[in-house]
A and B are shown apart, each in its own frame.
Chain A
Amino acid sequence: MQRADRITGAVLLVFAVGFALGGVTHYPYWVESGPGSGFLPAWLGGVMAALALLMLIRRPRAADAEVDWMPRGAGARRLIVVLAATVFYVAALKVLGMILASALYLAFIMRYLDRHAWWLTVAIALATALGNWLLFVHWLKVPFPAGPFGF
């Protein structure tokens, strides 16, 4: 975890400096009546930069040394597949429509994580699609993105 903290610290430092510089160059720091719209961004960027620096220079905490935060083996593979599926799901919303994309996502994860039987997978996917439609489209009148079949 110590290496992860150093990397986070470095990324935050770059981000903070950029944030503060962007703030003071694009927005006024002080206007006639008082602090302008660049005032707080500049300070926040400064404070964040200081925190990031602290993170880089501080003595590593003993408690952090043993923490193995990175998933490995099967856990890492599961995480990556689930994450990729979720990204696809969000990307497919406009193409497939909310209801269809949701049902497909559910079916995929059910098969992938637990290897549920096909009949159960299809049944729950259909129930989810119906529930989604009833609750959001029918009752709450949320205009969901529609898919190729008009729902």
Chain B
Amino acid sequence: MGFGVALTPFNLMMAVAGVMVGMLIGALPGVGPPSGVALLLPLTFGMDPTSGIIMLAALYAGTMYGGTITSVLINTPGESASVVTCLDGYQMALQGRAGPALGIAAFGSFIAGTVGVVLLMLVSPLLARWALSFGPPETFALMLVGLTTVTLLAGDDALKGYVSMVLGLMLAMVGYDIISGDARYGFGIPEMMDGVDFLPVAIGLFGLGEVLAGAEEKGAGQVKTRFRLREVFPSAADWMSSRWAIVRGTVLGFLVGMLPGAGPTVASFLAYTVEKKVSRHPEQFGKGAIEGVASPESANNAGATAAMVPMLTLGIPGSATTAIMLGGLMMWGLRPGPMLFEKNPQFVWGLIASQYIANVMLLILSTLCIPLFVRALRIPFGILMPLIVIFCVTGAYSLKNSVWDVGQMLVFGILGYFMKKLGYSPAALVLALVLGPLAERALRQSLIISDAGVGIFFMRPISGVLMALAILAIAVPVFKWGQTLFFSNRKA
């Protein structure tokens, strides 16, 4: 029944538009998947939620591929999940094999994406059924796992990751409290009492913040490569050497992508490492091995699909991008979580079917339109930059037709600039802001039903295991820090 929803002309058009815009956004250095989803989210408010999420999901898939184009051609990853692709992809381009590199990435992404959707379809209902038995303690423990792992993986300085995350939770406290109705930290300003909306924050941090950082450096590398369509198709030899890399990348990518907090970036790094380990000629990695492109590119697409699993079934996003999508779902009045599959089957299956379609579109567009996207990369920064800012402003405004939100976006844009420069994690902040109210309610409900205080989180089996995982995620950086404290001057 999903295909009936996804194949209506309008939804089909949205999927095409999503993939195209996504590829474009992914290809622009500095503007990654979270910015793309945040910027386009306001456009979807006028639509019905199913069309909206179809467009966003297609966009997400598109950005995953778009980032590859710049990684291969100018050694500049468009987004973090394509960082590893630079290693061998750019080397291939230097050897005149940019076409096969982009081609194998497109086919690998297609295969991984399609298999990923099948797995998504099989796993999600099971997980949702299991999650129906979750009470507030399990929900809270799960959110804690998501928050701590995102923080752990956010950057090389864990302390700054935690500062970003706690700041996000503090911002989530602003506005009416769901349980008591108190207007917290409102300072008598009506707009503040409504709380800090995540969308202006996300647009500011990811859109405006990135653009400001770019204004200072002025412009990224320009693409000079030209190449023809026929060169995009990998040869039989390319296929032979990368088929298992694609399979391994897909499986690994899906498994890793499903973990809250891990997502496509981690998946791509892991896939590359594994591929190098199992390879019969590891010395060629980093010098233009096609497996070094095929495997991480498959993994990041499978991971991007898998990241939808915890978002849809548990209501817990695993990454900044899915956090923004989750915020979108809540704005449309849907409640992500186990009940979504029973209450809005049309929405869920429409989304899943549209993922199939998005993958087909992605394959067609990525092979046919690569020359076009390469040309788009030549848009001068002086034109691109103000256009992105205008999109940030109109996007923040159209959420509630409020200039206040635009101001809020501006403030967070400036904050985002400093966070980027000083090594803080905007992803952890946004995730905490989205999860904050849900986590607070789960925490307080748990403590209300508990006879043993915080003991309730450790005495129930599922939440006990999850809490142990969360504590482990906190302990790793603390342990590392302790090491540097006692063994000074050694590399941390």
Contact = CB atoms under 8 A, between A and B. Distances in A.
Contacts of A59: 484-485, 488
A2 B380 CA distance: 35
Contacts of B447: 34-35
Contacts, number: 172
A89 B159 CA distance: 36
**Interface range for A:** 35 or more
A58 B448 CA distance: 38
A124 interface: yes
A126 interface: no
A16 B423 CA distance: 20
Nearest to B168: A44
Interface in B408-422: 410, 413-414, 421-422
A130 interface: no
B381 interface: yes
Judged by DSSP, the binding face of A is helix
Given A37-B177, A48-B166, A93-B393, A75 B217 contact: yes
A1 B422 contact: yes
A41 B393 contact: no
A31 B180 contact: yes
Contacts of A146: none
B381 A33 contact: no
A51 B166 contact: yes
Nearest to A106: B386
B393 A89 contact: yes
Interface in A21-67: 22-23, 26-28, 31, 33-37, 39-41, 44-45, 47-48, 51-52, 54-55, 58-59, 61-64, 67
Given A35-B448, A40-B173, A51-B159, A76 B216 contact: yes
A109 B167 contact: no
Given A86-B410, A93-B397, 9 more contacts: A33-B448, A34-B447, A59-B485, A78-B216, A82-B385, A90-B410, A105-B390, A109-B382, A115-B382
Interface of A: 1, 4-5, 8, 12, 19, 22-23, 26-28, 31, 33-37, 39-41, 44-45, 47-48, 51-52, 54-55, 58-59, 61-64, 67, 69-71, 75-76, 78-79, 82-83, 86-87, 89-90, 93-94, 98, 102, 105-106, 108-110, 112-116, 124, 128, 132, 135-136, 139-145
